[in-house]
Chains A and B, each alone.
Chain A
Amino acid sequence: MDLNKTVGQPISRLEGKLKVTGVAKYAAEYEVDDLLHGYVVSSPITKGKILNIDISKALRIPGVKDVLSHENRTKLAWFDLQYTDMDAPPGTVFKPLYDENILYNGQPIALVVAEDFETARYASTQIIFEFQQETFETNLRNNLDKARPAKKGFATALKPPPPPPTGDFENAFENAACKVEAEFQHGTEHHNPIELFATTTVYEGKGKLTIYDKTQGTINNQLYVANIFGLHYKDVRVLAPFVGGAFGSGLRPQYQLFLCVMAALHLKRNVRVVLDRKQMFSFSHRPPAIQKMRFGSDINGKITALGHSAFAETSNFEDYTEPTANWSHKLYPSPNTLFEHNLVPLDVYTPMDMRAPGGSTALHAIECTMDELAHQLKIDPLELRLINYSEMDPSSKKPYTSKALRACYLEAAEKFGWSNRNPEPRAMKRGNKLVGFGMATGIWDAFQFPARVEAMITKDGRMVLNNATTDIGTGTLTVMTQIAADELGLSLEEVDFQYGDSKKPFSMFQGGSAITSSTGVAIVVAAKALRKKLLRKAAEMDASPFKKAKEDEVIFSAGKMHLKDQPEVFISLKEIIASNKGKAIKTTNLGKPHMLKLRKYSLATHSASFVEVEVDQDLGTVTVTRAVTAVAAGKIINPKTAKSQISGSMVWGISKALHEETIMDDHLGKYINANLGEYHIPVHADINQLDVIFADEKDDLINEIGTKGVGEIGLVGMPAAISNAIFNATGKRIYKLPIHFDELI
């Protein structure tokens, strides 16, 4: 019989209408009674102490309710551990308004609370601070002597240190027939979602709070607030049904949440705190990094030595690590390897995961080094990848659960027209423009977190599902609805996936391209339990034809349960619930990775990006005229939303290669382009043709639904592919991102 499956169909985003009509509400947009507005005061100094704060002028302004600082803040938790969060790196978590110490420029040092936004903002200019400044260090390169491996902690589980050396790297590299040694430099980047970080706290009384927050993890922030302010976690509800982008910045609670909750508890009022764009540069960021690469090969291009040493910034209070040196050996076999990732603590805020953390930084260095190797060997860059292709993971010697990278290479190369490439730099021209083709490989993790889902069939035959995850624009609502609808043979309209609420069953934060596999698997597990319960209930009914039916002998379609062998025998889900006295039949189940089975495998998504650039011969300006990215990420639940994830990531790749960078003035210890006019991201005019291919990759091992995640894999290969295309166009290899026109003139 016709099982009308929605998985694999290009379904338009289910919340689309709410978003195009302006009905969708984000954290700062909830209308609550008697709302007070908080405005954050940021430290103008980089390091030192606050000696004195004079708030008397600010307090005299009509409408100002209070000014909170370390001098008069409410009582807080004592132990550092109580400030931690699910994504906290090893170290001591930053505690806003805790004491007089200034750890970084832009640190929040006070919160003005007033009747309206304008008054709070004005009053913030009327507070007089006296500081004692200390010397500081913010430059990565000048402080490489402080480099050391990261401390280990809870977060190390998801971000393992590089594997130990193998073989005799120094000797192998020294004696390699062809060798490339290069140093790559990446600047700081800020996530800059267009929605400003914001929190609206509703003071419910009796120790209860309802909090609308911008976050990627409702439960993460719920526990954070409960721990710090000594509230019962059940009395703290964090809601984030719509999140205006986050890209990693919402993986940890940001300080506006802390300040907003503190003000609400202190004043026993509803409070909203919204950061301004400049303050969006005052917390997490992608750390600047210096990567030293040494790859060697034999005369035929077979790699004999892989060396990757990374130096990345962290703060002086936490050891943030993004995995960099781990990637090359997951792609290319080599008998001799040497991998290091070292941190340089500086007087900045702790860096944080930003879309494809580590991967996008590392793959740029790895794949540009590969390109140079191909150039020196006079081997086609794609051919060099195929010469070093590995079906298994060379770094762990384990097979991949699936790896359709070869198909990615070939399908993308075909679509792109790679065979038309002239390997000689500066050989291809279009009028006054030099034309270059470049390619690169991408690899990313295929994570799955444990998740719990409550699923029920209601008396009107609808399926309701509950899970605490967010949908940060990834399409989570739509894909979860698709997965659930297929499991119970319902239409999308009959499924109601409820999310973005810490009161709902457990979800980790939405990061690492993991949520489709995490909540999706939990839905499959819960749906199975639900089908079993429905069958049991149906079998109890008088003269039920399902009395002897086993679970695998029934199918669910069009709101009914049928006998598989006699599809004309059926009962509707509504009737089953009616026989349960109209009470919903429900179940709550845990979906989790099959750790024991998966321990024998390596898990990853792969991609191949091919890029054409035009470089103006006189002005050095670069245009990415077209790009193709082929992705192998297991099953694609929704090709429409998944394609947007990949093409959006490709835009991020273009941005990383050519546009975005936060510039630190090391004399001031301060970012000097903290606004969207000077922090460049691509505008519409910068983006041309982007093609996305999903390679067929069936993966029965990875999890119940065969998904591997699409949030980040589209980004990792792009920066190197663009850099390599620029080399092909100009003959210049630029080792620093972003690449600016002045380096190409």
Chain B
Amino acid sequence: MQTEPQDHLFTKQNTCAVNLKVNGEDKKLFILPWVSLLDGLRDHLHLTGTKKGCDHGQCGACTVICDGKRILSCLTLAVMKNGSEITTVEGVAQGDNLHPIQQAFIDHDAFQCGYCTPGQICSAIGLIKEGKANSREEVKELMSGNLCRCGANVGIIDAIMQVKDGGSGE
């Protein structure tokens, strides 16, 4: 049985104000409470560097860094992160200077189509910060939430290992 549509849910009265600091800038979003952080970033702030691949937390393309930790923005409601500091792939470089992970991705040809790349990069930065992965095997394991359909896996892990071993992952 279909239920009667809850028309009132979709009215402007239900929009919430959400304050986020995104890539160092204060942003205010007026959104319905069920808008994901991913859609908030992409559709409302036009930060489309963060990608939607599954919307189910299965592919990792939407990974962003929230208060220093990597999270899946598709499994996060934007309202849950009111007051948080978010870094997306657009905020990883310092102006024209690429983050070492970004440069290592280019050097190791760690992507082909580039669609999973922002998630891989944010995840790699988060991983290095977590400091749990010491060996190549551990890096592979802890990066396994980020799928790459082009099969650039070897280049991705090579790039992360280079930065990790070079100690410039911060």
Contacts and interface: CB of A to CB of B under 8 A. Distances in A.
Interface in B23-54: 32, 34-35, 39, 42-43, 46-54
Given A22-B88, A647-B151, A677-B58, A243 B106 contact: no
14 contacts: A17-B102, A21-B89, A22-B50, A63-B10, A118-B34, A194-B61, A244-B113, A473-B113, A650-B151, A676-B56, A684-B141, A684-B156, A684-B157, A687-B157
Contacts of B50: 22
A473 B111 CA distance: 8
B80 to A, nearest CB: 16
Contacts of B90: 21-23
Interface string B121-154: 1000000000000000101110111111111111
Given A244-B51, A644-B112, 9 more contacts: A17-B106, A20-B117, A63-B10, A118-B35, A118-B39, A126-B2, A194-B51, A194-B113, A681-B147
Given A242-B114, A684-B156, A690-B154, A119 B10 contact: yes
B5 A57 contact: yes
B113 A243 contact: yes
Contact of B56 (A24, A116, A277, A472): A277
Contacts of A687: 140, 151, 153-154, 157
Contact of B109 (A12, A18, A24, A194): A12
A651 to B, nearest CB: 3
B152 A20 contact: no
B116 interface: yes
Size category of the B interface is: 35 or more
Nearest to B137: A685
Contacts of A117: 39, 43
A676 B114 contact: no
Interface centre among B34, B53, B150 (most CB of A within 10 A): B150
A390 to B, nearest CB: 31
A472 B5 contact: no
Contacts of B107: 12
Contacts of A61: 5, 7, 10
Interface in B75-89: 88-89
Size category of the A interface is: 35 or more
A670 interface: no
Interface centre among B49, B98, B115 (most CB of A within 10 A): B115
A96 interface: no
Interface stretch (A25-33, A80-88, A323-331, A405-413): A25-33
B20 interface: no
B48 A29 contact: yes
B4 interface: yes
Contacts of B2: 57, 126, 128
A733 interface: no
B56 A16 contact: no
Contact of B113 (A16, A122, A245, A676): A245
A378 B133 CA distance: 46
A647 to B, nearest CB: 6
B48 A22 contact: yes
Contacts of B140: 684-685, 687
A676 B59 contact: yes
A81 to B, nearest CB: 33
Given A20-B98, A21-B89, A683 B7 contact: no
A205 interface: no
Contacts of B46: 31
A245 B106 CA distance: 18
A194 B43 contact: no
Given A117-B43, A194-B116, A685-B140, A22 B49 contact: yes
A12 B105 CA distance: 10
Interface string A60-76: 11110000000000000
Interface centre among A17, A21, A28, A687 (most CB of B within 10 A): A21
Contact of A194 (B5, B53, B141, B143): B53
Given A21-B90, A21-B98, A60-B7, A651 B153 contact: yes
Interface centre among A15, A63, A677, A683 (most CB of B within 10 A): A683
A475 interface: yes
Contacts of A676: 53-54, 56, 58-59, 147
B10 A122 contact: yes
Dominant SS at the B interface?
loop
A58 B5 contact: yes
Contacts of B109: 12-13, 640-641, 643-644
Nearest to B57: A677
Contacts of B106: 12-13, 16-17, 20
Interface string A219-252: 0000000000000000000000011111100000
A126 B4 CA distance: 8
Given A15-B114, A648-B112, A21 B58 contact: no
Contacts of B143: 684
A677 B53 CA distance: 12
B150 A648 contact: yes
Nearest to A62: B10
B43 A193 contact: no
B112 A685 contact: no
A474 interface: yes
A649 B121 CA distance: 22
A196 interface: yes
A28 B117 CA distance: 16
B169 interface: no
B115 A194 contact: yes
A247 B151 CA distance: 12
Nearest to A122: B10
Contacts of B58: 277, 675-677
Top 4 closest pairs, chain A to chain B, by CB: A22-B49, A244-B115, A651-B151, A473-B113
A475 B5 contact: no
Nearest to A714: B151
Interface centre among A12, A128, A685 (most CB of B within 10 A): A685
Contacts of B51: 26, 194-195, 244
A687 B144 CA distance: 10
Contacts of A18: 114
Interface in A97-125: 116-119, 122-123
B35 A21 contact: no
Contact of A24 (B114, B152, B157): B114
A473 B148 CA distance: 12
